[in-house]
Amino acid sequence: MAREYRMLIGGKWQSGNSRREVKNKYDGSVLGTIPIAEAGDIEQAIATAQQAFPTLAALPAYQRSEMLGKAVDLLKQRREEIARMIAAEAGKALKFARVEADRGIKTFTFAAEEAKRIHGETVPLDATPAGATHMGFYLRVPVGVVVAISPFNFPLNLVAHKVAPALAAGNTVVLKPATATPLTSVILGEILSEAGIPAGALNIIFGDGRTVGDQLVSDPRPAKITFTGSPPVGRHIMSRAGLKKVTLELGNSSPTIIDQDADLSVAVPKCVVGSFYNSGQVCLSVHRV
């Protein structure tokens, strides 16, 4: 029987009123079912993240670093499980799924290291006579609740790009992974919970962008939105976000130039892999030669 996965809200795994199947992209078998978040679930996830924010923000940098470091250890222990889940739910070749698992580990490693290096700078003010005897400085502080909306093609590493730095800086997160590939995020949620992040620091909810995503980005409480996906959706998010910080990673067209003196026996196979790896579903795949 397929596993019934749950949403993570306030440190607890919760069911919903309606469910959706997640299928193995190779053979069409059902990997599991996920609950589809309703308005009340979304409200609870945002409110919980907002309530947890002062706790996480107040943690010393070394404690945030240690929690992320423990997550790295747990990611390493579950590497093969994660890779096989990526391969199944995303349809990615297992050898490339293992590469993604390793990249996710590195992303959390970098975040654990950088958590101890988030600081401001001093600013000399002697550019004018009035400031000759003065000095200024600034500090970097967490922004608050971060809404993270991730795509289907890298269900671990693109989630890690959003979640790991946010937690390292002391921000809480409401994550909405792609509905086609949500199960890897569940494993990550289990790992971060075991690593000791405060309840509510990471919330994971599922659903379509038109409903769940729209409510998340238009709510006034989150301070930042990070989204990876298509330009039309990026434009829609900007129109709905209001006065929030917004980071968009959208589509592109990647040219590749092969010089006349290039070794074609090396260049051609690399262009083929660069173009067709993961069926071309990569942000920086080769589009034009």
pLDDT digits (tens, 9 = 90+) for 128-146: 999 998 999 999 999 999 9
Give the residue carrying structure tokens 């006579």. Answer: 129
Distance between CA atoms of 148 and 198, rounded to whole angstroms? 18
> In degrees to the nearest 10, what's the CA dihedral of 79, 159, 23, 94?
-40
CB atoms within 10 A of CB 105: 21
Which pLDDT score is estimated for 1?
67
User: Of the listed 66, 190, 249, 271, which one is catalytic?
Assistant: 249
Closest to 82 (Cα-Cα) out of 8, 165, 18, 159? 159
Inter-axis angle of helices 61-77 and 183-195, nearest 10: 130
User: Is the pLDDT assigned to residue 108 strictly greater than 90?
Assistant: yes
Which pLDDT score is estimated for 273?
84
Bridge partner residues of 106 (DSSP): none
Domains of the chain, with CATH numbers?
A: 3-128+137-251 (3.40.605.10), 254-289 (no CATH)
pLDDT higher for 280 or 96?
96
Do 75 and 191 contact (CB within 8 A), yes or no?
Answer: yes
Do 207 and 213 contact (CB within 8 A), yes or no?
Answer: yes
Q: What is the pTM of this model?
A: 0.92
User: Is the pLDDT assigned to residue 279 strictly greater than 90?
Assistant: no
Which pLDDT score is estimated for 280?
67
Which pLDDT score is estimated for 285?
80
Give the residue carrying structure tokens 């293992």. Answer: 98
The reply to whether 249 belongs to the active site is: yes
The reply to whether 271 belongs to the active site is: no
Residue-wise pLDDT tens digits, 17-74: 999 999 999 999 999 999 999 999 999 999 999 999 999 999 999 999 999 999 999 9
Which pLDDT score is estimated for 281?
72
**Residue 125: C-alpha distances to residues 119, 120, 132, 139 (Å):** 19, 16, 6, 17
User: Of the listed 38, 43, 66, 283, which one is catalytic?
Assistant: 283
Do 229 and 149 contact (CB within 8 A), yes or no?
Answer: yes
**Residue 253: C-alpha distances to residues 140, 151, 154, 228, 268 (Å):** 35, 18, 19, 15, 19
Mean pLDDT to the nearest integer, 115-130: 92
Which one-letter DSSP state was computed for residue 129? G
**Residue 218: C-alpha distances to residues 43, 169, 281 (Å):** 12, 23, 28
Do 123 and 136 contact (CB within 8 A), yes or no?
Answer: yes
Say if strands 30-35 and 19-23 run parallel, antiparallel, or are unpaired. Answer: antiparallel
Distance between CA atoms of 147 and 166, rounded to whole angstroms? 10
Distance between CA atoms of 17 and 240, rounded to whole angstroms? 27
Inter-axis angle of helices 183-195 and 157-168, nearest 10: 30
